[in-house]
Structure 1
């Protein structure tokens, strides 16, 4: 999602229309793909997950840029008159290749030198903002003040489908009160006004499944937390240990594991610790964003209840979703995490990073966002 937001931001700064496509698992044109042995849609329209400037919604008054357009419209309009730019033509001249501000400025200069309205980067030459950018803790520091106040983030929103799922399941993470308005059906205003903090809610992001091996890989690569999880004002920072030592790779992997793939005891201890901080005062509900299996989650819930007194503990597996919402369930989780009084995220996760982006853009206190 962050790549889409930054590409939208670049188009906005260049006063051009951003071209959005479907979220695509399999680009071969097939209707279905296979993931973990199950059939899933090969393509999901971004508009069933988000709303805002990135998917063609109107920009706020005073924004001197055209709205985003769909890829189908772009292909029809620009089929025979595209200017195609290989990525290296711009990036070979960068002094800091992972600096998002420098990348944006270089592409702005390139786009402003081209009169043709139909411009795209060459597909085979990598993304403008690639995984190295999003994985560099310093990559976003310079661009953040401008990006965070641009319509790309101030008018970002979750789709009506996602908001309806949130409203349907609000008893899992919100106080029961007729005074708290539902999201669905209400006119959209701004990101900050719509997605306010939910008092009393703590959200924890726990990855299982393939993350067990992924965490080993992260340790072997010497990875840091993602860029949007590395704001300097946050209380939790991650500094990889030096390579070498008597135990070598095993020691480094064990250093990473509690932050990336913690066991039940480590999760309970971290939740207990953060709950006793000033930012968590009054927290009574716990929601666990997770892909863990139900048996493991039942064990985790019981351990959390033994350690602390909670009004309720719920997980992603407790959500009641219709058929369409099941394919955007991570977006539902992100909306819940975005609004939590306290978030305990996984610093290596792009899902956590998406949530942190919105919390910081909406001026949530830095000490309300913590990490495993």
Structure 2
């Protein structure tokens, strides 16, 4: 280290030389800076050299999420979004979009907590009762899309790796008073309005009724008690034009009600004769698919006009009469095996729509089950009724074919989501009896691109019109066909279960 002082000859410390001290200080500083700079420069050169030596393929690539539907499902055709049906709904004459005031419009009822993310059968069974509730309360029913995903920023949703529409306008599936159509002559009730119009007319002045305000005073899950409770509450708010059902605890009718075997008898006599059912109609899109495929499942006579040519004002009983000679089987496959095992573990009964009092087939859970578990024998019995194998299906069909209601049956149509190979095996097994002129299935239908995504409704219409129908007592899709058959006057013993 450089000295900061120097001694004279006598050994005493001399006074520091200021210039020399400054020189030494600067020399030390520059020496340190120089060494440090050299090291930094060397490291920088080494870093640059090493980066040039790394192959491009080995460099980390940032993960980027797909930002468009085309990137999310590359090479797949995107499903339709049905804009023409939305346009139709928006142009309904009861929608006064440009009115300076909405004070003269009818009272309205909106249920924002309605079910979503389920098959059409689950959604439709709830829509029917929600619309019936609004009708009973003399309020305009606010109808809504068939919704898989309510996120408005996502037009498409993923279903088993394939895109499906996140929302389908309700008018692409059904017609009639539920979706803003005219009521039949003699019915004085306000016309239904769309969800979009409700938000336009009511968002700034709505009254929200917490679900607990009604259900805390309803002692059962039965439909008649729930309906009465809500109707009384809505009547107490007749001075309020825009009433919304609070989402706390779910919509008025939940899965508990639909799964309760005794939920419907109290309301059924009134429900079945209400215009909600007597003037229910499937959409023009669904009826066109029915007409296009008519020769596949039930050949028509020369003099029979197509369904799509029938006047819309016709009551449902006249619009959708039985198709003579047609037996329809509703058989769920796929993930229903696990669902049926779950039903067995909890000793579940048939759904509410499938336990109407006139129906001949009942299912009482066998004894021996416990909380969340069941005996192997009981599980096997559930599977026979809920997920029958081909041999069990053939035996049940033969049993039903011997009944009085089955006289004249010639054709079989299988409503199913089963794999093509399994369906073909079933068709061959049914045909082996020599009883049937023709056996067809959902897999044989020819559907255009728009009809493909409402195919469940097409199947429901075919099942609804069968001379004899055998369905799954735990299926809501079966349940809607059953309700329509019974409301339209079909003989009860023509509707059976596995």
Is the TM value for this pair above 0.5? yes
Distance 1:347 1:248, change over 3 A: closer
Structure 2 residue 173 is the aligned partner of structure 1 residue 49: yes
Instruction: Please point out which of 349, 354, 361 is paired with 2:475.
Output: 349
C-alpha separation in 1, matches of 2:423 and 2:225: 44
Which residue of structure 2 lines up, in the alignment, with residue 5 of structure 1? 128
RCO comparison, higher one (Cα < 8 Å, 6+)? 1
Instruction: Please point out which of 160, 173, 190 is paired with 1:36.
Output: 160
| Largest Rg, 1 or 2 | 2
Which SS does the other structure have where 1:94 is aligned? coil
Alignment of 1:57-206 (within 5 A): 57-96=181-220, 98-114=221-237, 115-188=239-312, 189-206=314-331
Alignment of 1:298-313 (within 5 A): 298-313=424-439
**Deviation of the 1:123 alpha carbon:** 2.4
**Deviation of the 1:309 alpha carbon:** 2.0
After the TM superposition, which of the residue ranges 274-283 and 120-129 deviates more from structure 2? 120-129
Which SS does the other structure have where 1:228 is aligned? helix
C-alpha separation in 2, matches of 1:26 and 1:176: 39
- Structure 1 runs of 4+ aligned residues shifted over 6 Å read none
Alignment of 1:252-291 (within 5 A): 252-291=378-417
CA contact (8 A) 1:222 1:240 kept: yes
Q: TM-score if structure 2 supplies the norm length?
A: 0.73
Where does the alignment leave 5 or more consecutive residues of structure 1 unmatched?
A: none
Instruction: Please point out which of 342, 367, 371 is paired with 1:242.
Output: 367
After the TM superposition, which of the residue ranges 352-361 and 84-93 deviates more from structure 2? 84-93
- Render the CA deviation track for 1:290-317: whole Å, top value 9, x for unaligned: 0001101111111111124211000000
Alignment size in residue pairs: 370
Distance 1:191 1:218, change over 3 A: same
**Deviation of the 1:122 alpha carbon:** 1.4
Structure 2 residue 346 is the aligned partner of structure 1 residue 221: yes
- Render the CA deviation track for 1:137-173: whole Å, top value 9, x for unaligned: 1111011111111110010000000000000000022
- Render the CA deviation track for 1:185-209: whole Å, top value 9, x for unaligned: 3311111010000000000000000
C-alpha separation in 1, matches of 2:282 and 2:203: 31
Distance 1:308 1:238, change over 3 A: farther
**Deviation of the 1:174 alpha carbon:** 2.1
Q: TM-score if structure 1 supplies the norm length?
A: 0.97
C-alpha separation in 1, matches of 2:269 and 2:241: 28
C-alpha separation in 1, matches of 2:138 and 2:300: 45
**Deviation of the 1:248 alpha carbon:** 4.2
Which SS does the other structure have where 2:308 is aligned? coil
- Render the CA deviation track for 1:269-296: whole Å, top value 9, x for unaligned: 1111111111000000000000001101
- Render the CA deviation track for 1:86-109: whole Å, top value 9, x for unaligned: 11110111122x111111111111
Distance 1:106 1:200, change over 3 A: same
C-alpha separation in 2, matches of 1:120 and 1:77: 13
Where does the alignment leave 5 or more consecutive residues of structure 2 unmatched?
A: 1-123
**Deviation of the 1:184 alpha carbon:** 1.1
CA contact (8 A) 2:346 2:374 kept: no
**Deviation of the 1:233 alpha carbon:** 2.4
Which residue of structure 1 lines up, in the alignment, with residue 57 of structure 2? none
**Deviation of the 1:38 alpha carbon:** 1.0
CA contact (8 A) 2:212 2:248 kept: no
- Render the CA deviation track for 1:177-228: whole Å, top value 9, x for unaligned: 2111101133111110100000000000000001010001111122110111
Which residue of structure 2 lines up, in the alignment, with residue 232 of structure 1? 357
